[in-house]
Amino acid sequence: MNEQTCACPDCNCKVGNTPVVRDGKAYCCEACATHHAGGKPCVHAGCGCTKAAQQH
């Protein structure tokens, strides 16, 4: 089982075969790895983490 999910708190995306690793955590995309700096959206359309990040 290497179906790991993104370490972004509100993201349920699978990181897949090419995770973006930052600080020892695997993220599904660069946007999540940078905690959505500048409002950058998750690459996965409709992912709840983008909206959640913008509310902070």
Q: Is 33 in the site for Zn ion (CB under 5 A)?
A: no
User: Is position 20 an interface residue for Zn ion (rule: CB under 5 A)?
Assistant: no
Q: What is the distance between the alpha carbons of residues 13 and 56, in angstroms, rounded to a whole number?
A: 20
Q: Report how far apart, in Å, the C-alpha atoms of 39 and of each of 18, 28, 33, 49 are.
A: 22, 16, 12, 11
Pick from 7, 13, 15, 20 the residue near Zn ion by CB under 5 A: 13
* Residue type at position 3: E
Near Zn ion by CB under 5 A: residue from 11, 15, 20, 26: 11
Binding site for Zn ion (CB under 5 A): 8, 11, 13, 28, 32, 42, 44, 47, 49
